[in-house]
């Protein structure tokens, strides 16, 4: 298994698209840093009355929101690029155990996504908090320790997106189809659900992928289009199921059809 993982890591790091994809969340860290500088500049020039009405949401959450689908695309391309080039036949010849090959891809993509998600989330959190300092800007938690668990869980949830993208690529064998499916689950479906009549908007919204990380840490006090009905344990189980169930279906499908 270790040899197969090493081979998948070599494939991933020798493809230029990997670096282009990883550059997007990295660029957003820089963008959020500039935004924090601008917000502080505006805040410092405001009157006390205007400061009471001024607010800023978590900038780390914005980076996580972008990193998730980016790493999902990386998971998709890790599979569909091999189908498009015919390299999948070479891979299956070298590793006849198809489920072993899939698990090696999942381990590689999952590790890269986990590291990337945590890195960009924590970097954004600490950099922007250092810039904001002790300014009591509405929307910024006065305690770093209170906000940090949510940032860590949100960063780690990026790996779920990547594994979901990988599984959808195996199931659909289509780059466009898998990416459209990711976009639908990530953003389009929650926008549809928020317009469903109550109480179903909150009930369905609670199980949307993008809103689960906040529920895992109990950080449900923010304004959000997602529901907040799940206890942390249930939210964690559903979050993991977004990766595990599609991967299980992908493993079953990969073992039963031609390359």
Residue 247: per-residue pLDDT: 94
- DSSP structure string for 30-81: HHHHHHHHHHHHHHHTS-HHHHTT-B---HHHHHHHHHHHHHHHHHHHHHHH
Residue with tokens 């590790």: 111
Of all residues in the chain, the percent with pLDDT exceeding 70 is 95
Task: Indicate the SS3 state at residue 123.
Answer: helix
Task: Indicate the SS3 state at residue 147.
Answer: helix
Q: Which residue would you say has higher pLDDT here, 9 or 160?
A: 160
- CA-wise closest residue to 206 among 180, 181, 232: 232
The per-residue pLDDT of the chain, averaged, comes to: 87
Q: Which residue would you say has higher pLDDT here, 205 or 139?
A: 205
Residue 81: per-residue pLDDT: 85
- Looking at residues 234-249, what average pLDDT do you find? 94
**What tokens does 238 get?**
């559903």
Give the pLDDT confidence of 151-187 residue by residue, as tens digits.
999 999 999 999 999 999 999 988 999 999 999 988 8
Give the pLDDT confidence of 118-162 residue by residue, as tens digits.
999 999 999 998 998 888 777 777 677 778 888 999 999 999 999
CA distance 100 to 1: 7
- Looking at residues 57-62, what average pLDDT do you find? 86
Look at the chain and count its residues: 259
φ, ψ of residue 55 to 5 degrees: the values are -145, 165
CA distances from 97 to 114, 159, 227 (A): 26, 24, 41
Q: Which residue would you say has higher pLDDT here, 62 or 1?
A: 62
Cα–chain center distance at 243: 11
- CA-wise closest residue to 64 among 153, 196, 127, 197: 153
Q: Would the pLDDT of 55 be above 70?
A: yes
Question: How many CB atoms sit inside 10 A of residue 156's CB?
Answer: 18
CA distance 90 to 94: 6
Which residues is 55 bridged to in the sheet? 138
pTM of structure? 0.90
Write the DSSP symbol of residue 186: I
Residue 163: per-residue pLDDT: 96
Q: Of 82-86, 179-183, 224-228, 253-257, which gets the smallest average pLDDT?
A: 224-228
């Amino acid at each position: 298994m270790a040899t197969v993982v090493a081979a998948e890591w070599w494939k991933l790091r020798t493809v230029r698209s990997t670096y282009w994809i990883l550059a997007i969340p990295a660029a957003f860290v820089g963008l959020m840093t500039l935004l924090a500088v601008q917000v502080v500049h505006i805040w410092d020039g405001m009157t006390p009355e205007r400061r009471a009405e001024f607010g800023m949401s978590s900038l780390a959450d914005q980076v996580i929101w972008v990193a998730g689908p980016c790493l999902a695309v990386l998971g998709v391309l890790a599979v569909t690029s091999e189908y498009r080039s015919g390299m999948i036949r070479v891979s299956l010849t070298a590793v006849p155990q198809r489920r072993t090959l899939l698990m090696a891809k999942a381990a590689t993509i999952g590790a890269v996504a986990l590291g990337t998600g945590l890195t960009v989330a924590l970097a954004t959190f600490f950099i922007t908090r250092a810039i904001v300092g002790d300014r009591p800007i509405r929307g910024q938690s006065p305690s770093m320790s209170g906000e940090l668990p949510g940032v860590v869980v949100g960063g780690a949830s990026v790996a779920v997106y990547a594994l979901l993208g990988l599984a959808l690529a195996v199931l659909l064998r289509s780059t466009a189809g898998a990416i459209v499916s990711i976009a639908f689950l990530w953003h389009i479906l929650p926008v549809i659900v928020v317009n469903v009549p109550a109480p179903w908007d909150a009930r369905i919204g609670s199980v949307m992928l993008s809103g689960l990380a906040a529920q895992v840490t109990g950080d449900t006090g923010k304004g959000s289009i997602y529901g907040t009905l799940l206890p942390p344990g249930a939210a964690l189980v559903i979050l993991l199921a977004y990766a595990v169930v599609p991967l299980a279906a992908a493993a079953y499908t990969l073992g039963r059809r031609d390359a």
